[in-house]
Amino acid sequence: MKDLENFRASNGNVTLDAAVLSSDDRQRVRLWKEGKEDSPLDSKSPHWMTIRMVGNDGEPSKDFPLRNGVFEMQLPKVFFVGNSKSIAVNGVDFS
């Protein structure tokens, strides 16, 4: 996948969304919580999710858009606080 149109993870208490677009030789990452896309999260938020582009070789990719690789998401620790019974994950790409 070269771009990530939408990623969503929910633990029943918190829902996190992300989108990754690659254009003009740079990557734009947008993160938001509880469906509030007009209120993006920043890296200081406890709900911030680290997103990396990884090539087929398992190494970080610098290709824009991403070619022959995957997006790796690291859910924040706060997402696992409490005793959620399950986590639902959905994703949509542009390919």
Q: Are 90 and 77 in contact (CB under 8 A)?
A: no
Q: Is 95 exposed, middle or buried (0-12, 13-18, 19+ CB in 10 A)?
A: exposed
pLDDT of residue 67: 74
pTM (2 decimals)? 0.81
Residue spans per domain, the chain = 4-81
Quick one: which of 1, 41, 44 has its CA closest to 18?
A: 41
Residue 22 has pLDDT above 90, yes or no: no
pLDDT of residue 64: 64
What's the CA gap between 55 and 66, in Å, rounded? 8
> 8 has which bridge partners?
17, 90
- pLDDT, tens digit (0-9, with 9 covering 90-100), for 50-67: 988 888 888 887 766 677
**What confidence tier does 26 reach under pLDDT thresholds 50, 70, 90?**
low
DSSP annotation of 79 reads G
